[in-house]
Amino acid sequence: MVAPEVTAIIPVFNDRPALERAIPVSIEVLAQVTDKFEVIVAEDGSTDGSTAFVREYEKISSRIRLLHNDERLGRGTALNRAIREAQGSIVCYYDVDLATDMQHLPELIGAIRSGADIATGSRLLPESDIRRTEGREIASRSYNFLVRRILGSRLFDHQCGFKAFNKVKILPILSTIRSNHWFWDTELLVRAQRKGYTVTEFPVRWRAGKRTTVRVKDVFGMGSSILRLWWQIHVSKD
């Protein structure tokens, strides 16, 4: 079997209904980008039948692979594992609810093909087309402002679940990341920029999903994670 050029990762935790749409849409859109691709479902301790659903899909399509955790280890941990096991030279991931319009996938993959080490969709650029509650908008802009201010990032949106990587370049960064959950995205982007990696950020069309697994304590935890990462970088020199 010819090795895939692109590996698409879908992180999942109790997302059976969303998976029923995400998998066939992924196959359809990826086929427009390349004929050499695979889809890894990074399933993190689900109890809603997500695991069984993906296993049935594996029987239908050889392009689908399940990476299952018996217990929840965290979104970041699931992504780390999936990226390491990806066969593609280009690795991307996106949220299972497809909140970011999949019309942007060719641009995401194209940025890596054109030489970027990392590409990321952004909900916070002037050209971005987003729809979500005012409260979430304020929280997101405040959070990203703090990341830019405290951690020196040049990017505008660190948490958009729509990213791609040059696998060879990103592997060394994975071993330095300490966050195992939602802050993983931010930590990866900050550490990559500090290493001089080329990061392409582009505007996307984004619609908030009907269901979110980000809880209030996750938001507070991510705030404290900003300060923790600053300490690791500037004091511990990690």
Active-site residues: which are they? Answer: 185
SS3 63: coil
Length of the chain: 238
CA distance 10 to 162: 10
* CA–CA distances in Å: residue 179 to residues 51, 166, 221: 24, 21, 11
Residue type, 43: E
From residue 140, give the alpha-carbon distance in Å to each of 30, 132, 135, 159. Answer: 29, 11, 9, 9
Strands ordered across the beta sheet of 64-69: 64-69, 37-44, 6-12, 90-94, 162-166, 118-122, 199-203
Q: How far apart are CA 110 and CA 172, in angstroms?
A: 22
